[in-house]
């Protein structure tokens, strides 16, 4: 059968990969959902096509799974339901769900109907949900039980939403139960012709400066990310990918795309505690795990505090740990290799505008260059440019620009922002970077986060990496604070590990190894806020501390 199927190429609509997996590996498990917090989490509907194991049969809690055949059929059912409601090619269908087994069949059902999937951040408040639905021109919304209150508070204002589909038990009166509707829809593949240039998905920027932008991608972007990720990490059908980050974000889903391309199983874990992660890896025999920096730090801290004993878990099959979404401290990977010496490691760089991970990556063979984000990924080009978009000399700091098959089509309904970000197919990332003598790219900082103090440019990431070498520091963020003499000064918000007693005086001494102009002038002991993708929320810190009295004195250097 395999030889009779047309080959999947980077110009194939991504829905055809699901169809192919259903034909070739129909009875194999495609997706598993693990929900450790079953007592407090709202129960959602269990589609009859899902296999369910109730606790205490599984050590983590509720376990649900489905096969490639059922995955495909569920997507077809939702697609045919949408078509029966008059959905046309290019219509927008929003998804507001926590990670769950229904998420991906719904996503692919939207694509199979020729519509555009619009994943929403599950942390959005009601006004942000309303804003993003309007900005994206969404006509339909699929939501789960965690969001009933938020949707109910704005449903009368959602005049452009034609249907509200509910995924869960006890459907509210203002919505329709998706499970009941799809039971009667056809599970045959809908007759909708798709091309690689058809619009496929709208993702939203992190929204760290006001409301987020809507990022429009065609099918080409999605399929290209499958090939990029699989090329980087050599997934096979025997690999098992553990997916912890939210599926509304490009990072998690596009890393899964490498396994999706070859028919490998994925495990969706609803929990980030070290024991939960290790149990999931052990019980499901996961081989590939993508982590955020805080989760990797928590695992190491739990090992070192004896909270977890690695001998309690089956981990010999775990071959790859990789990290993205933020700069990775070299000290973290050095600690990691102490406990997991056989692991391959990779750093992945990407943006939602470049369809998530992989436009630049370190490569598992280059662990000696940890600290760099790497070189252009498979199918990608990169260059570092000045304010006039001209390449800078090697070693000089400039803005990172990338070019490749996953560059967004546009910021939807925002031509000015699109023009400022795209030029001749190049995406200007807003990240400041430099290239070393071996061609490896190092992130210096976000363009807007650069601190100018006394005429000198300070790059907070460099200072943060230095401070993270301190054994007592769990996390750190450096921001610029207004100063009447210097313009700005560097302030370090420091989050200590539990029960550590490091003082400001200790950190001042520790920073003596930094050049004088790079040393923080203030130390503030507080929690470092991060968004769901692990990025430090520096605008929140600037809002909190700029122009207000601080619980720290300025240090004279």
Mean pLDDT of 451-469: 79
The per-residue pLDDT for 42 is 58
The per-residue pLDDT for 39 is 46
Find the helix or strand (DSSP H, E) in which 304 lies: helix 293-304
Output 105 or 270, whichever has higher pLDDT. Answer: 105
pLDDT at position 556 over 50: no
Q: Assign 451 to helix, strand or coil.
A: strand
Instruction: Judge whether 174 and 164 are in contact, CB under 8 Å.
Output: yes
Instruction: Judge whether 350 and 357 are in contact, CB under 8 Å.
Output: yes
The domain locations on the chain are 70-239, 456-545
Find the helix or strand (DSSP H, E) in which 125 lies: none
Could you tell me the end-to-end alpha-carbon distance of the chain, in angstroms, rounded to an integer?
72
Residues 6+ apart with CB under 8 A from 517: 453, 454, 456, 458
Residues 6+ apart with CB under 8 A from 229: 235, 254, 255, 257, 258, 261, 357, 358
Residue ranges of alpha helices (H) inside 422-535 are 460-467, 504-510
Percentage with pLDDT > 90 across the chain: 66
Q: Determine the distance from the C-alpha atom of residue 536 to the mean position of all C-alpha atoms in its chain, rounded to a whole number.
A: 13
pLDDT at position 456 over 80: no
Q: How confident is the model at residue 41 (pLDDT cuts 50, 70, 90)?
A: low
Q: Rounded distance, CA 289 to CA 266, Å? A: 10
DSSP state, residue 249: S
Q: Rounded distance, CA 216 to CA 143, Å? A: 21
The per-residue pLDDT for 551 is 38
Task: State the chain's mean pLDDT as an integer.
Answer: 89
Mean pLDDT of 104-118: 98
Could you give the angle at which helices 330-339 and 293-304 cross, rounded to 10 degrees?
A: 50
Output 269 or 548, whichever has higher pLDDT. Answer: 269
CB burial class (10 A; 0-12, 13-18, 19+) of residue 193? exposed
70-239: CATH topology: Rossmann fold (3.40.50)
Helices first, then strands: H and E counts in the chain: 15, 28
Helix-, strand-, coil-residue percentages of the chain, each rounded to 5: 35, 25, 40
Lowest-pLDDT choice from 121-130, 234-243, 415-424, 539-548: 539-548
Q: How far is CA 111 from CA 76, 132, 228, 262, 263, in A?
A: 10, 19, 21, 20, 19
Instruction: Judge whether 459 and 433 are in contact, CB under 8 Å.
Output: no
The per-residue pLDDT for 326 is 65
Residues 6+ apart with CB under 8 A from 518: 458, 462, 463, 490
Across 44-192, where does the E strand assignment appear? 51-53, 62-67, 92-96, 116-119, 138-143, 163-166, 176-177
Instruction: Judge whether 468 and 476 are in contact, CB under 8 Å.
Output: yes
Mean pLDDT of 345-358: 88
Percentage with pLDDT > 70 across the chain: 90
Q: Rounded distance, CA 361 to CA 347, Å? A: 6
Domains 70-239 and 456-545 belong to one CATH topology: no
Find the helix or strand (DSSP H, E) in which 386 lies: none
Q: Rounded distance, CA 408 to CA 353, Å? A: 5
The per-residue pLDDT for 292 is 83
What are 490's strand-pairing partners? 480
Q: Report residue 237 as tokens.
A: 């059908």
Q: How confident is the model at residue 56 (pLDDT cuts 50, 70, 90)?
A: low
pLDDT digits (tens, 9 = 90+) for 148-189: 999 999 999 999 999 999 999 899 999 999 999 999 999 999
Mean pLDDT of 28-41: 79
Residues 6+ apart with CB under 8 A from 221: 200, 201, 355, 405, 406, 407, 408, 409
Q: How confident is the model at residue 328 (pLDDT cuts 50, 70, 90)?
A: confident
Mean pLDDT of 383-391: 94
Q: Assign 325 to helix, strand or coil.
A: coil
Q: What is the DSSP string of 180-191?
A: HHHHTS--SPP-
Mean pLDDT of 368-392: 93
C-beta neighbour count of 160 within 10 angstroms? 12
**The most confident of 165-174, 321-330, 444-453, by mean pLDDT:** 165-174
The per-residue pLDDT for 376 is 96
The per-residue pLDDT for 406 is 95
Mean pLDDT of 407-428: 95
267 phi and psi angles, rounded to 5 deg? -115, 120
Q: How far is CA 439 from CA 198, 327, 442, 536, in A?
A: 35, 18, 10, 27
523 phi and psi angles, rounded to 5 deg? -125, 125
Q: Rounded distance, CA 109 to CA 120, Å? A: 16
pLDDT at position 68 over 90: yes
Find the helix or strand (DSSP H, E) in which 495 lies: strand 487-496
Q: What angle do CA 324, 325, 330 make, to 5 degrees?
A: 55
Q: Rounded distance, CA 500 to CA 453, Å? A: 31
Burial 57-84 (b: 16+ CB within 10 A, else e): ebebbbbbbbbbbbbbbbbbbbbbbbbe
The per-residue pLDDT for 252 is 78
pLDDT at position 290 over 50: yes
Mean pLDDT of 123-152: 94
Lowest-pLDDT choice from 52-66, 234-248, 355-369, 384-398: 52-66
* CATH class of the structural domain 456-545: alpha beta
Length of the chain measured in residues? 557
């Amino acid at each position: 059968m395999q030889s009779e199927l047309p080959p999947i190429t980077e110009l194939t609509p991504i829905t055809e990969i699901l169809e192919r997996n259903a034909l070739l590996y129909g009875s194999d498990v495609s997706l598993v959902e693990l929900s450790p917090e079953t007592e407090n989490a709202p129960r959602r509907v269990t589609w009859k096509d899902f296999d369910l194991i109730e606790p205490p049969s599984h050590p983590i809690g509720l376990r649900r799974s489905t096969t490639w055949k059922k995955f495909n059929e569920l997507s077809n059912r939702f697609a045919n339901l949408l078509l029966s409601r008059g959905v046309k090619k290019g219509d927008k269908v929003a998804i507001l769900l926590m990670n769950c087994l229904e998420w991906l069949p719904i996503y692919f059902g939207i694509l199979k109907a020729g519509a555009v999937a619009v994943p929403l951040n599950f942390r959005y408040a009601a006004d942000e949900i309303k804003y993003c639905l309007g900005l994206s021109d969404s006509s339909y919304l699929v939501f789960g039980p965690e969001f009933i209150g938020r949707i109910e508070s704005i449903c009368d204002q959602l005049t452009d939403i034609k249907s509200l589909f509910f995924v869960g038990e006890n459907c509210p009166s203002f919505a329709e139960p998706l499970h009941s509707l799809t039971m009667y829809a056809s599970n045959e593949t809908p007759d909708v012709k798709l091309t690689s240039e058809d619009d496929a998905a709208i993702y939203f920027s992190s929204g760290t400066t006001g409301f987020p932008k809507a990022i429009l991608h065609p099918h080409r972007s999605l399929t290209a990310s499958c090939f990029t990720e699989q090329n980087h990490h050599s997934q096979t059908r025997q690999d098992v990918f553990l997916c912890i980050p939210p599926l509304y974000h490009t990072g998690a889903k596009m890393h899964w795309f490498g396994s999706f391309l070859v028919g490998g199983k994925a495990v969706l874990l609803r929990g980030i505690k070290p024991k939960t992660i290790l149990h999931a890896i052990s019980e499901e025999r996961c081989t590939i795990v993508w982590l955020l920096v805080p989760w990797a730090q928590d695992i190491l801290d739990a090992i070192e505090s004896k909270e977890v004993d690695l001998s309690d878990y089956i981990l010999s099959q775990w071959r790859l740990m990789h990290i993205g979404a933020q700069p990775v401290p070299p000290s973290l990977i050095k600690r990691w290799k102490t406990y997991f010496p056989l692991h391959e490691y990779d750093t992945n760089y990407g943006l939602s505008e470049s369809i998530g991970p992989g436009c630049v990556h370190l490569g598992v063979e280059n662990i000696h260059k940890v600290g760099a984000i790497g070189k252009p990924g498979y199918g990608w080009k990169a260059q570092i440019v000045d304010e006039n978009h001209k390449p800078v000399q090697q070693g000089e700091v400039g803005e990172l620009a990338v070019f490749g098959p996953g560059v967004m089509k546009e910021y939807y309904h925002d031509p000015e922002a699109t023009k400022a970000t795209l030029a001749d197919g190049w995406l200007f990332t807003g990240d400041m970077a430099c290239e070393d003598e071996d061609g490896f790219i190092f992130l210096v900082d976000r363009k807007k986060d650069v601190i100018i103090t006394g005429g000198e440019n300070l790059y907070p990431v460099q200072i943060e990496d230095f401070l993270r070498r301190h054994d007592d520091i769990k996390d750190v963020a450096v921001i610029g604070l207004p100063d009447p003499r210097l313009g700005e000064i560097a302030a370090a918000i420091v989050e200590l590990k539990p029960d550590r007693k490091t003082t400001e005086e200790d950190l001042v001494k520790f920073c003596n190894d930094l050049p004088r102009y790079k040393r923080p002038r203030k130390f503030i002991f507080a929690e470092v806020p991060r968004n769901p993708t692990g990025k430090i929320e520096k605008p929140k810190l600037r809002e909190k501390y700029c122009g207000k009295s601080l619980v720290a004195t300025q240090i004279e250097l």
